[in-house]
Each structure stands twice: as C-alpha cells, then as structure tokens.
Structure 1
Amino acid sequence: MSGFLSLSFRKIKQDLRAELTEASVTGSILSVLVGLFMVYLVAAQISEYRSIKTETNVVLDHYSSAVGDNTQDSAEDTLQINFNISFPHLSCEYASVDATNFMGTHDAGLASRVSKVMLDKSGKQIGPFEERKHPVKHTDDMAPLEHKELDRSLKINIHDFEDVRRRYDVLIVNFFTPWCHWCQKLEPVWDEAAGKMKEIDDDRMVIRLASVDCSGESGSKLCTEKRIDAFPTIMVFRRDDLKDAHHERYHGERSVTSIVNWAQHFIDQAMKKSPKSQAVDHNADGEVDSHIGVGCLIAGLLHVQRAPGGITIQAKSDGHEFNWATMDVSHKVNHVSFGPFLTDTAWKVMPAHIAQAVGSLDDRDFSSEQHIPTTHEHMIKIVKNVVELPSAWRIPPVIAHGYVVHSNNIQRFAEVPSVRLNYDILPIIVHVQSKFETFYTFLTRLCAILGGVFTITGIVSAGVDAGMASLTQKDRLGKLG
C-alpha cells in the first residue's frame, strides 16, 4: 500500500501550509486577474465546441459518389434547368424556347415543361396562354389584287389614324408590309372581307376594315407607336378606347368567311346585342381568338445532358414575318437555377455564399435600346456544390448548383433579337463538410487551458516575487538612492 501511495500526487500537510506559504497584495491581484482570464478562456472554448466547423475541398466530378452524391440526377447524366423570365414587349403568341447543345443540335432538352402567362402593359399577369391547337390556315385560291381594287380596304397612316378611329365604333386594322410573304397572301382576302363588311355596315359608321403599310414613313411611325413587330397583325380599335387600352388581335383562319364572322361580333357589341369583350371565340372551338397580352412570362424546367449548351428565347411563327429592327426582347430574370428544387430546410442549412450563387441572375433587369435590334447573351459557368451536415442533424447531403454569370449585349441589324442562356458545366465539385468538434478534442483543449494558465501564472508570480524581493533588499541596503 505504501508503494502505491508513493506514486500518487504528493501534497503539503495542512498544518504546514501556514508555515510554508504567505499572502501578498500582488498575489491577490494576480489571482483575480488570472481567474477572470481563465473564465474567459473556458467560456470561449465551450462556444467553440458548440459551433460548426466547415472544411471545403474541390474534387473532380467523377468522384461524386465519394462525397455523398448518389442522386438519380448524377446517375442519369442529366441536369435540370429552372427558369422564370418576364418579357414586357414580347407576346406569348410568338415567344419560343429552344434548347441546343454544344454540337448545335436543337431540341436538346430531353424533357421539358414550359408555361406562358400573358402580361398587360403594367406587367400584371392576365392569365395563362394556351398554345394554338392548329396552325394558321390561309385561303390560297384568291388571285393577287390589281391596284384599282385596293379601295375597299381603307388606307390610313399616322396622320389620319385618330380621325378615322373616332369616325367608327370599331376600326379593324391590318398592319402589313409589301415584302412580307404572309401579308401578300392575306391582301386579297382582307380586301374582299373589307368589301363585305362595308356592305354589312350599310353606311351606319359602325365598323370598317382598314390597312396600314408599315414600310412607308408615315405608316412606320404608326406601327412603331402601336409596337407592331409581326406582320400581318390584325388589331381592333374602338371609338371609346382609353389611351392605354389593350387591343384585341385576330388569330383565326385567314379566310374571308372567318374574318367576316369574327368582325360580326363587334357589330353585335356596338349595336348592344352582346356585351363588350376582349376575348372572342368566334369559331366556338374553345380557344380565345383575341389575346390582349402585350408581354409574356415564360417559366418552366428543362432536363438536358450534362454538357455545354444553351437556351434561346426569341420570336417565331409559322404565319408571320418579323421586323427585327423594332423587336424588343427586354426582360427581367425572376429566377434561373440548375438542379432539383431545394427544400426549405436545404435553404436554411446551406452556407450563405453558396445560397447566393444558386440564383446569381435572380431579380435582374436587362433592357434593349429603342429601335435597335439587341440580343442579350448570358454566359453561365455552373459548379456543383455538395454540403454535408453534422451527422447528429440526420439531414442528407444538400446538392446545389451555384453559378457565375457574365452578361453581354449584341447590337447588329443582321442579328435576330433573342435572349441566350449559354451554360457550361465545370467538371468539379465543391465539397463542403460541416461538423462539430469532437468531445475528446474539447477536453484536451480545456486541460491545456487550465494547465497552461496555471503554469504561466506560477512563472509570472515567481518573477514578480523575485523582483519585489530584490527591490526590497536594495532598499534596505540604501542602494535605491
């Protein structure tokens, strides 16, 4: 037993402490300061123990399975693209979304879900846009008009437009250009329909069909004022329209019978046989033929191959020609992201710098200069981030695709105005591992703090006591002067 006791920490006997130790003012001050300092260090160490440590590594993408990325998205070698973009001056009727890959192959989206919502002039949503079930039909058996026959459709321009509009309850205008193939096919049909409507109106000044040549100087000013970008465009104007009123447009079959039947609805409205409406379904096919949205919100998602590619949004139509000089594709990016949608929990636990990179383009506006064809190009570099959380949280790894973007405007009259989202997927993964400090590390550091402070305090105390003793000795000997 005595041998075991010899191995233990030896201590001073209680009755000898008073003989071997003494109190001092410097010792008391030092003890208080050291005690406060030790409390601060222990509290800081406890806070450090409770905080999350983050370690970031960059690895090649083919090591994704080693960092917890076992999702179906990686296994199938596809990438989901999510977008929500507003176009205040591009009609949903003409807006087209096309996905291409780095080889230039169109329709590169393996699966897609895209929806369009019509916007009014103030940017408010009017309602969903339904794609046309059938292509625009044309009457092909009518001969081109001779110049002497062109008086049945009233020719107007910017100088007399307002006077003519006030003269009739309803004025239906065909905006055209001579170089437009579809306008040439519509010309004899429109003139014939104008003659029939003139007979039906019988000088009651209720309705009249008119035409505006957008290639002439006076006509082009009117077309620019009414934001006519597609030819032919058939638009309805009413005598009692407000200044910023929305105007119906004709989207039905381009035949005399269809146009006359459609125009008859406006005669009935003017004669109070039916209520006024800007949503006319003249052929009873369940499809509204008079859309009133001047803008379009395009939202959806695409599944594409994990390879460089792009998404192009521009105007397309099988029955119209476009004036690219006035086409305006100004837009606001409400949201663009890559990969599956993140849960609320994922957003909360994700590091702030990664969360910010997930939607780098969000809520940004891009404007085109007036009357200058402008293409907006967004170059996007995508990086996959895998965030592993502490195991105690029991939350699976969060996979988020951040990106950096550089935007550029291309202004060339030979360039078709469009919005391009060109993306490139970098073959790396940023692996962020978050974890708590282990308990044994906490204990080790705590012991180091206590032992280190005690040891340093002893050294400092001994030095102070030695210095004080030396000064006292010199004072007794009279050596301090």
Structure 2
Amino acid sequence: MSALRKAHFYRRVPKELTEGNALGGVVSLVGIVCSAFLVYSNAAAYLTTAVRTKLVLDLNTEDHIELAFNITMEGLPCRFTAIDFFDVTGTKRLNISRDIMKVRVSSSDGHILGMGEEEEWTDDVEHDDPDESNRQAHELASLIAEEAEGEAEDVPMLIGGATERDTKERRHFSAFVNSKDFVMVAYGAPWCPWSRRMEPVWKALHMTVLTSPLHDTVALGRVDCTVEKQLCASQQVSAFPTLRIYRAHDTHSHENYHGDRTVEALHDFLQESVEGMEEAAGFHPLTHLSHRAGEGCQVSGGVLISRVPGSLRFSAQSPQAAHSFDPLMMNASHHVSALLFVPPLFDRASHIEWSSQLTTHSLGAIIDPGEAALRQETFVMHEQATTLKHYLKVVPQRKVAIDGHVSDTFQYSTNYNEFRPTDLKPHAADPQQRLVPNAVFSYDISPYRVVHREERQSLGSFLTQLCAIVGGCFTVFGLIDSALFYGVKAVKQD
C-alpha cells in the first residue's frame, strides 16, 4: 500500500494551504470556455468526413472507355448524317451505326419528326396569291402542251428564276410547282458525276410521261444548282442529285425520292403516287403539308474508344455513295445536349441513384456520373465551307466514398475553333480539297488520374487531440494564472 502511495503522481494539497483570488477566478472561467470550444470543434471534425485529393499516375488496364453523346445536326438530314471515328493508332471506323440512334428533327423549330414520319396535315398554311398562281400555271401549262406536240425540246424543263433572256426555257419555280398536282424536280450540278448519270434517265422518264396519261397530272423539271444558287439554298439542297416531290401546288412542302434511279422504278413510283392521290381525292379536307424544307438529325448513342488521342467526326455521306455534296451549301451547325466520357459497361441508373443520395455529402458536386463541359450548347457555322472543331482535354477521376464505394469518371475541358480551308473546291480531284463541312470532336486523355478520397478521423487520433486540448488548456491557463499572480504580488510589494 505504501508503494502505491509513493507512485501517486496527483497528490492532493490541503485546501487550507491554497489561496484564491478574483483574477485567478476570471482566468479559470476563460480557460473552461476555451477548453469547451476546442473540445466541441474536435468532436465536430471527428464526425465530419473530409476529402483528400491527390494526383497519381493512371495505371488502369482497361482497354476502352465509352464516349456517349447526344448531338443534333441542325442542317443535315439523317439519311446523310454519318459518324466516323479515328485515333492515332490507326483505328478507322466509318459511318458507325452500332449503338447509334438517329431521329429526324425540323431545322426550323426543332420538333421531332420521327423515324417514319413522312408528312403531316394542317389547315393553317399560307398560300401565294391564287390569281397570280393561276396565271403562272396557265402560262406554264401552255408551254408544256407545246412540248407534248413536239414544239419544244424533248428534255425536262429547266426551271429557276425568271429572266428576260430565256423566259421560254426557264420559268419561275413557284409557277412550275403550281402547274400540276404532282411535280418532281431533279436538283443537280454539272460537276457531279451522279448528276450527269441521272440526265439520260431523267430525259427518258420525261418522254415517257409526255406520252402517257400521267402527263395530265405530273410535271418533271430540273434545276442546275451552279446557276440557281439562291433557289437551291432556299430549298436547302446540298446533295446532288436530289429528287424532290411537290404536291398540291405547295412550294414550301416536299418529299424526297429514295428509290432506284431507273426509268422503270421512277415511272412505277409516279403511277403509284398518282393513283394514291386519286384515291385520296376528297377524302381529307385539310391542306397537305409535307415536312418543311430543312431537316436536321438528332444523333445519340455511344462509341467505344481507346485511351489514346482520337477524333469523332459528324459529316455528310451518301448511303450508297450515289450523291455529291456542295460544301458551299452544307451547314455543320449543331447543338450538343450532352457529351460524356464514361467507363465501359457503365451502370448509369445505379450510379445516378447513388449520386443523388450524396448531393449534400462532403464530395458535393464532384460526385456525378460524368462531368460534361459540353452540355446544352449550340455552335453555329458563321461562314460557308467551315469545319467546326472541338478540342477536349480529358482527365480521369476516381472518387472513393467513406463506405468504400469507388466511382471512376472523366472530366474534360474544351476549346472551340472554326476552320475553313483556303483551297476548298467542290469538284476537285483531290479528296482533301472537296471535304464537306463537318463537326469534329478531338480528344486527348491524360495519363494522370485525380483521386478524391473521403477520410474520417480515427478514434485514436480523436482521443489524442482531446487529451492535448484538455491538458494544453490546463497548462497554458495555469501558466497565465501564475504569471498574473506573481506579477500582481510583485507590484504590491513595490
């Protein structure tokens, strides 16, 4: 027992041997308040999760990541919209269709036309002056009658803006469309080989129509877009040849012909169309309105890419390589709804649900299924024959939650530039000189990874700091009390 008494470090001093004063009481109260505040702060820090960020070399062995996107090409029809992929390893994928969905949209107001929508009906369409249209139609009907009698050339009428030099051969476009109930116009260009191949077929079809009952209902015309640039621009024709159908004397409405370009196929199509018009005559009282001139394409999906620099390109391509494109008529303006880099086999649903539960968590806005610098942004082509280029610097990120949940995402910054070749020629032999305008997204993935890790203070560290706070406050305020006591005592003695 005596040995234990000797080992007692905290021996008691009899109370009658101690002395207290008012100044010492003030110091003691301040010390208690400070100790309580520091203890509370330490406890709050122990209960709060902190985020530690560090930069490490990315040693991830995954071969591919997914580039997911939702982009609307506002002036490029879906049938001509192609997605190509290139990277520095030599990988080249042209006209990608796997995991890609295209939806036709109107370039005027952006509403979705749908995959199979060919026409819509409305009774609220503005028409030109009926008297003027009837007068022009009468003049053109007389000219077509002369052609049928052999007084005109045996070729389809060349239509465009009326001029005083050749008013017999050329007629105003609206007058030609108003001449018959069913008008089919071939837009072409002399430098286009597919347009040149179409000429004899179109002439033969024209002669077939003139000598058949279709002549009373059908009119065939042709437009040289190298001459009638304004007309082709107003009709938004950029691929040659384009076979366009106008019904019910409406110059603002059209359908495109997508069938075979043979006399037999075209003649059968005209017969079926005229028969369908006769069957539907008087059935629908509303005015026919095919989709307005101008069609865009909403492209969404994902492409697997390697972890090397590469490019994703949206451009115009003919499905059967049966069209030529005029770069001066193309429009590469586009709207980016979202563009994300995500790991392959990414479970978006569960990740988004998990992220939504942590909106007030310490990681805050860092937790996201993918940080998109391009989101709900529109890029407009300000000059003709311009390529719109985006440069993306991608940084891999890893977020480790306190419960061990690991989330790999990618953040990126972007720069934008409009590039216009100085030697662009629409009919040049060199493919590089006749590239049509397109939208390009070039990316480069960083070899470093940013790691955000949630950490919580350990119990041992909390207890250590708690003891340091209590003992430190007791010692510091004890020294202050001693200094004040002996200082006051010395002053009184003097």
Output the TM-score relative to the length of structure 2: 0.76
Q: 2:138: which partner in 1?
A: none
1:429-453 CA-to-partner distances (Å, cap 9, x unmatched) read 2233222111111111111111112
Matched, 1:22 2:20: yes
Check if 1:360 corresponds to 2:373.
Answer: yes
State the secondary structure of the residue aligned to 1:228: coil
2:263 alignment partner AA? V
The corresponding residue for 2:245 is: 236
Name the residue aligned to 1:466.
486
Task: Classify the secondary structure of the residue corresponding to 1:361.
Answer: coil
| Secondary structure of 2:256 counterpart | coil
Given residue 448 of structure 2, which amino acid in structure 1 is its aligned partner?
I
- Superposed displacement of residue 109, structure 1: 11
Residues 177, 213 of structure 1: 8 Å contact kept: yes
1:48 aligns with 2:56: no
Amino acid in the other structure paired with 1:267: V
| Closer, same or farther: CA 203–320 of 1 in aligned 2, 3 Å | closer
* Aligned residues of 2:387 and 2:420 also touching (Cα < 8 A): yes
CA contact (8 A) 2:186 2:223 kept: yes
Kept in 1, the 8 Å contact 2:106–2:113? The answer is yes
- Distance verdict in 2 for CA 1:433–1:233, change over 3 Å: same
Counterpart pick for 2:413 among 395, 404, 413: 404
What do residues 254-296 of structure 1 show as CA deviations (whole Å, max 9, x unaligned)? 122322332345434544536679999xxxxxxxxx9987101
SS in 2 for 1:128: coil
- How far residue 461 of structure 1 moved from its aligned partner, in angstroms, is 2.3
Alignment match, 1:39: 36
Deviation of 1:4 (Å): 0.9
1:63-82 Cα distance to aligned partner (Å, 9 max, x none): x4xxxxxxxxx34x222222
Which consecutive unaligned segments of at least 5 residues does structure 1 have? 65-73, 131-147, 281-289, 475-481
Larger displacement relative to structure 2 (319-328 or 249-258): 249-258
* One-letter amino acid of the structure 2 residue matched with residue 226 of structure 1: Q
Answering whether residue 341 of structure 2 is matched by residue 344 of structure 1, we say no
Q: Does 1:83 align with 2:81?
A: no
| Counterpart residue number, 1:97 | 83
Structure 1 counterpart SS, 2:237:
coil
Q: Name the amino acid aligned to 1:309.
A: G
Distance 1:110 1:194, change over 3 A: closer
The answer to whether the aligner puts 1:424 opposite 2:444 as a matched pair is yes
- Residues 276-295 of structure 1 aligned to structure 2 (within 5 Å): 294-295=295-296
Equivalent residues, number: 425
Q: Look up the match of 1:283.
A: none
Secondary structure (helix, strand or coil) at the match of 1:12 reads coil
SS of aligned partner of 1:86: strand
- Matches of 1:108 and 1:247, distance apart in 2: 30
Q: Which stretch of the first structure deviates more once superposed, 373-382 or 413-422?
A: 413-422
Using the alignment, how far apart are the partners of 1:375 and 1:313 within structure 2? 10
Offset at residue 198 of structure 1 (A): 4.5
Where does residue 232 of structure 2 map in the other structure?
A: 223
Deviates more, 1:175-184 or 1:421-430: 421-430
Identity of aligned residues (%): 26
In 1, Cα distance between equivalents of 2:238 and 2:441: 23
Correspondence list, 1:202-217, <5 A: 204=216, 206-216=217-227
Q: Does 1:376 align with 2:385?
A: no
Q: Which runs of at least 4 in structure 1 moved beyond 6 Å after TM superposition? A: 108-111, 274-280, 290-293
Say which of 305, 325, 329 aligns to 1:326.
Answer: 329
CA change 1:271–1:110 in 2 (3 A) is: closer
Q: CA deviation at 1:407?
A: 2.1
User: Deviation string for 1:443-470 (max 9, x for gaps)?
Assistant: 1111111111222212222233334444
Question: Residue 457 of structure 2: which of 431, 437, 442 is its match?
Answer: 437
Deviation at 1:32, TM superposition (A): 3.6
Letter aligned with residue 83 of structure 2: V
- Distance of aligned partners of 1:246 and 1:51 in 2 relative to their CA distance in 1, 3 Å threshold: farther
* Corresponding residue of 1:250: 257
Change (3 A) 1:202 1:237: closer
Question: Closer, same or farther in 2 for the Cα pair 1:19/1:119, shift >3 Å?
Answer: same
Superposition CA RMSD, Å: 3.3
Contact 2:189 2:240 in 1 (8 A): yes
Q: Which residue of 1 aligns with 2:280?
A: 273
- Structure 2: state its 5+ residue gaps: 118-150, 163-171, 425-432
Deviates more, 1:325-334 or 1:456-465: 456-465
The one-letter amino acid paired with 1:260 is H
Superposition deviation, residue 228 in structure 1: 0.7
CA drift at 1:339: 2.8
